[in-house]
Amino acid sequence: MILLGAGASVPFDVPGMTGFTDQFILGYEKTSTLIADIRDAIDKSEEMIGIPFSFDLETMLSVLNDLSGSNPKKPISVPTACLLIKQGLSLKTAREKYEEEASSALEKLRQFIFNTCIQPVKKGRKEGNFRFLDRVYGPLMTILNRTELRNIQASIRKVYSTNWDLCFKTWVDYVNVPLDDWVDVDKQSFPVLTLSDRNRSGQGFVYTPLHGSLDLIKMNRLKGNGAYEDIFKIPDPLGYFEDKPNNIRDIFMIYPLEAIGYEDSVKSPYLDMLSDFRASLRTETEVFVIGYSLRDPIIGSIFEEVIAERIRNGDLNPLSDNLDSRRKEVHDQRFKIIVLNSEPNRLAENLRKQSNNNLLQTFIPIEIEFPRVADSDFDEKYAQTLLELMTNLVHMGYLTEGSALHSARIVRYQYSIPIREEAFEWKKNK
């Protein structure tokens, strides 16, 4: 299975979570005392309540939603409680102080997220194709699939995402690979997630948006068959592709997972998606984590729980503290958590701070960074990235030398990414 985070879309100029936050703050009024107060409270969350939160879009969404008064009966989130403690305010007093500004900031933040996440789809519609998505996903998924994408292997069939944009789903439809995103259209023509057991085709990808997605919009939705972009051809009373949709709340169906309130965290589809994610972790043999920081405490707690179970079952063992040696240590383990990350040491430090000890002891890092498709030397950079990826996957037993060479040929001839077979270390040694 694959877990995609926000960083998986960085090649398409959709920023990761840190970049997202920095861009919003840069464009927001510098005189805003509310955003500064939220940042101050979140930065001190560990010393105040013993839980370290990050100041990012998700915590801002939760606090702004709580203070806006849009749903006064909903229990507040923990980040909002941090702000109240830090300011010495009751919820009633805080809303009286911040409600107007919170409502305005929430609307602007939603608009900012929507406009940023939808840019790759706008670009593809303008250019008349989504080839730029295929330049990244095609070679990567071919390697992880061990062969052409005409037959998606079980090892990558399930895809979970904490990303809000539509890049992966749009790419899947562009290359005409079946995708089941658990979305049906109900009697009111609203899209709904249906995670109940039902027969699946066993082909293509099964996609679960753990943080929600921008296409879970409250309007009539057409489905795939090689024309996923049909959703964007629907007559659009909401101004879906205008600079400012008429009512952003009618299309904004995303879930700030780590900071979500109790009411939302125990109801469908949120609880169903997390249960499905836990069940998959219990049965998969490989988990690829791509562009995700592993800092979400809820997802982290599921990893901790399942890893403990699988250690007891003998599926994996704790690894050495030396991250570089882990790729060879796991060769014969029945369960591998493979993390593609540009800063594995920083990732390990974050896991240590969060006390995610099971994950800290068992994840296998592959230190690579994905280039942006707009880079003039993208092909050369990506060839080196993929070469390093395949070499590491051979070391840990996911690929054989033969399947790595086979994948390299497909990537070279089908996607024109110049991976030279003689660059593989076992070729050099012969």
**Residue boundaries of the structural domains of the chain:** 2-13+127-428, 17-114
- For position 223, what pLDDT does the model report? 45
Of the candidates 136, 216, 212, the residue with the CA atom closest to the CA atom of residue 168: 136
CA torsion angle 274 276 277 280 (round to 10): 160
Q: What is the pTM of this model?
A: 0.86
**What is the predicted pLDDT for the residue at 178?**
87
In sequence order, the 6+-apart residues with CB closer than 8 A to the CB of 216 are 183, 191, 193, 209, 253
List helix spans (H) across 197-296: 262-265, 270-283
Alpha helix segments (H runs only) across 245-340: 262-265, 270-283, 297-312, 326-329
Query: What are the tens digits of pLDDT across the range 107-120?
Result: 888 888 888 888 89
pLDDT at 314: 92
d(CA 340, CA 365): 6
Angstrom distances, CA of residue 155 to CA of 39, 201, 285, 287, 291? 40, 16, 7, 8, 18
Tens of pLDDT, residues 231-270: 444 334 334 445 455 555 555 566 655 444 445 555 556 7
HSE at residue 428, side-chain half, CA atoms within 13 A, is 5
What is the C-alpha to C-alpha distance for residues 285 and 369, in angstroms, rounded to an integer? 24
| Spans of the chain, pLDDT less than 50 | 198-199, 218-241, 243, 258-262
C-alpha 62/C-alpha 275 separation (Å) is 23
Give 53's DSSP letter: -
pLDDT for position 230: 42
Which runs of consecutive H residues, i.e. helices, occur in 128-204? 131-145, 154-157, 167-174
pLDDT at position 29, please? Answer: 63
